[in-house]
Structure 1
Amino acid sequence: MAVPTSYQDFTETLTSATPPTDWPDALKAMWLAATDNWEASHDIAQDMFNETGSWIHAYLHRVEGDKFNAGYWYRKAGKPFPNISLEQELQEITTNLLER
């Protein structure tokens, strides 16, 4: 399956059993996060040694409710701790990935 071109296209894939295997890891991690598979998403994010991986990692710890750990990862990502909902941040990260 081709990489979606919009967030709406991305959300339409969430009914599948798994994310497409040919997607970039970051997008797979966000798909897993969007389908409440925190552990699998975290496994991908913690193996991404860049700002994108840190941003996803931060978001996941925010989902978990661990503000201290999330704060560390937001700093590693060069991002401020967000004042938006988790749903808005999921869309923001995913849209950022799709626009690359």
Structure 2
Amino acid sequence: MDLQTFKSTLSATKVPEGISPLLKALWYDYNSNWEAAHNVAQSKEGTRDYDRLHAYLHRKEGDQWNANYWYRRAGESMPAVSLEAEWELLAERLTKK
């Protein structure tokens, strides 16, 4: 699924069928279900993309210490962009996989 197709699903009332768990998490997050998104991120701790998602979610939550922990686990640092821009970067990255 490409980025534009994924973004077109964001206004749907339920998660689209057949998308990856990580895209489901971004869909949940976009639709104000942080807990469901966080459950996905926790489901495969130690996997780079899941840890990266986990970092973003804790940053969004406002838990900077925990966010920084997960950024380090993912081998990255906290980006100097807005949360919205970070969501977009993650969505772009994950739709290319």
Above 0.5 in TM-score?
A: yes
The reply on whether 1:35 has 2:31 as its aligned counterpart is yes
The reply on whether 1:21 has 2:17 as its aligned counterpart is yes
Q: How large is the Cα RMSD of the aligned pairs?
A: 1.0
For structure 2, which runs of at least 5 residues remain unmatched after alignment? none
For structure 1, which runs of at least 5 residues remain unmatched after alignment? none
2:75 is matched with which residue: 56, 65, 78? 78
Query: Scaled by the length of structure 2, what TM-score is found?
Result: 0.93
Q: What is the total number of aligned residue pairs between the two structures? A: 96
Q: Spell out the pairing of 1:1-100 with structure 2 (5 A cutoff).
A: 4-6=1-3, 8-49=4-45, 50-100=47-97
Q: Give a deviation string over 1:25-49, Cα, whole Å, max 9, x none.
A: 0110011111111000001111123
Give the letter aligned to residue 71 of structure 2. Y
What is the aligned-residue identity percentage? 41
Where 1:40 maps in the other structure, the secondary structure is helix
Q: Give a deviation string over 1:51-95, Cα, whole Å, max 9, x none.
A: 000010000000000000000000001111111000000000110
